[in-house]
Amino acid sequence: MTTASEAPDILSPEFAMDPYSAYRAMLDTAPLVWNEPMQSYIVSRYEDVARAFKEPVYTTNNYDWQLEPVHGRTIVQMDGREHSVRRALVAPAFRGNELEQKFLPVIERNARELIDGFRDKGSADLVTDFARHFPINVIVDMLGLDRDDQARFQRWYTSIIAFLSNLSQDPDVAADGLRTRAELAEYMIPIIQHRRENLGDDLLSTLCAAEVEGTQMDDEDIKAFVSLLLAAGGETTDKAVGSTFRNLLDHPDQLAAVRADRTLIPRAFAETLRFSPPVHMIMRQPAEAVTVSGVSIPAGSTVTCLIGAANRDPRRFANPDSFDIFRDDLPTNTAFSAAAGHLSFALGRHFCVGALLAKTEVEVASNQLLDAMPDLALAEDAGPVERGVFTRGPASLPVRFTPVS
């Protein structure tokens, strides 16, 4: 095993600037690292990360301290029957008819409204004018909450993500997360109580009415899940839209192929998830000792799984550092299911509930953006500006185009 003094330090500014060369070094020579400041083992190889996601011995008890203080108890921490019942309560709202019939029009409307803000301007920032707002607006609208409160939700989700990503345990960030929990509860609980008496066609009503094997969610459960959705569905899809367009703009031939054949959008999204995932690391806590690279990791340890590294493991993907939507080692038909080749939605029982919603959002956004911007290109001043260590994506994406008359 390698210690942090010998391996790349994932808390360093150099790592934040360019995690990918550090990933390569870890994949080659340091597949298991002990990081003293984080008090965590770090694994990077595809096989080790996939195993940690799939094998039940790797619990998600780490969310007891990573997320519960800010959300309350949610599905990501649960296991066994408690998890499968909770999953059955929430999952139907994010797939099939519910998604296609009820929420597709909501997604289309929210994309259109944001694009209307810049479609005749000839220039835009696809992150600050679009991606940062789109998924959060969609969730607020799906839940049937007041669209005038979108700015509040934006602030809350930024605070929740900062809490989750607080690898260096900054006390101000932690205090702000706790404040958000109190504010969100004060806002949501009366709305949930009112909605129970006035069920409608929205996601919040579906959650209030859902029942599996005699179990329903109480007000606190629903408030905690809404809080989780803001972070899980907002930040991630924001980064996914930004990175998909950044990758395509960096590869104009692939952008032209997608523009000409829109059925390639899911391929471009799947390859973006592999090449530049929105979530770069996820933690696990083994219930019993596990062995990785010949070293025994004690029960109860924190294991940080580097998704961003595993997705570029040359043992799994050919030319892993090239963005190639036509690669033949990442099938698109499984990329949004628990049989995915990339690890960006995790695998196993906590596989992302919102994967199909995210795919639909990226498809709608990409189609509408490409239609509105026929000669879309990066603006001259668009530098390489990926930001973030826990979650990562372009901080801005200035583009120019000729408006459609």
Mapped onto helix, strand or coil, the DSSP state of residue 22 is helix
Nearer to ligand HEM, 339 or 404 (CB): 339
Enter the tokens of residue 397.
């994406």
The two structure tokens encoding residue 11? 């808390």
> In sequence order, what E strands does 247-352 have?
281-286, 290-292, 295-297, 303-306
Exposed, middle or buried, 97 (CB in 10 Å: 0-12/13-18/19+)?
Answer: exposed
* For ligand HEM, the closer CB: 266 or 278: 278
Residue 108, CB half-sphere, CA atoms under 13 Å: how many? 8
d(CA 149, CA 146): 6
Smallest distance, Å, CB 277 to ligand HEM? 6
| Closer CB to ligand HEM, 232 or 365, in the complex | 232
Q: Which lies closer to ligand HEM via its Cβ, residue 7 or residue 138?
A: 138
Which residue in 283, 231, 227 sits closest to 65, CA to CA? 283
Q: How far is the CB of 314 from ligand HEM (least distance, A)?
A: 22
- Residue listed under structure tokens 């008090």: 39
What are phi and psi for residue 279, nearest 5 degrees?
-110, 115
In 3D space, the residue among 70, 93, 64 whose CA is nearest the CA of residue 185 turns out to be 70
In sequence order, the β-bridge partners of residue 70 are none
DSSP 404: P
CB of 236 to ligand HEM, least distance (A): 3
- CB of residue 273 to ligand HEM, shortest distance in Å: 6
The residue at minimum Cβ distance from ligand HEM is: 354
CA distance 58 to 52: 6
State the nearest-atom distance from the C-beta of 169 to ligand HEM, in Å.
20
- Range list of β-strands (E), 114-208: 123-125
Give min distance, CB of 97 to ligand HEM, in A. 17
- Give one DSSP letter per residue of 89-150, joined into a string: HHGGGGSHHIIIIIIHHHHHHHHHHHHHTTTTTSEEEIIIIIITTHHHHHHHHHTT--GGGH
- For ligand HEM, the closer of residues 26 and 107 by Cβ is 107
Instruction: Pull the structure tokens for residue 405.
Output: 């008359």
Looking at beta carbons only, is 4 or 76 nearer to ligand HEM? 76
- Smallest gap from Cβ 396 to ligand HEM, in A, equals 19
Measured CA to CA, the distance from residue 167 to residue 66 in angstroms comes to: 10
Please state the φ and ψ torsions of residue 114, each to the nearest 5 degrees: -70, -40
Nearer to ligand HEM (CB atom), residue 20 or residue 351 = 351
Q: At its nearest, how many Å lie between ligand HEM and the CB of residue 373?
A: 22
Between residues 153 and 345, which has the closer beta carbon with respect to ligand HEM? Answer: 345
| Beta carbon nearer to ligand HEM, 131 or 282 | 282
Residues within the interface to ligand HEM (CB under 6 A): 60, 75-76, 87, 139, 228-229, 232-233, 236-237, 240, 278-279, 282, 344-346, 350, 352-354, 357-358
Please, what is the minimum distance in Å from the beta carbon of residue 351 to ligand HEM?
A: 7
Q: Do the beta carbons of residue 197 and residue 99 sit within 8 Å?
A: no
Q: Is 211 exposed, middle or buried (0-12, 13-18, 19+ CB in 10 A)?
A: exposed
Q: Whole-number minimum distance, CB 270 to ligand HEM, in Å?
A: 10
Q: Is 375 exposed, middle or buried (0-12, 13-18, 19+ CB in 10 A)?
A: exposed
H helices of 235-298, in order, are 236-250, 252-260, 265-275
Residue among 32 and 346 whose Cβ is closer to ligand HEM = 346
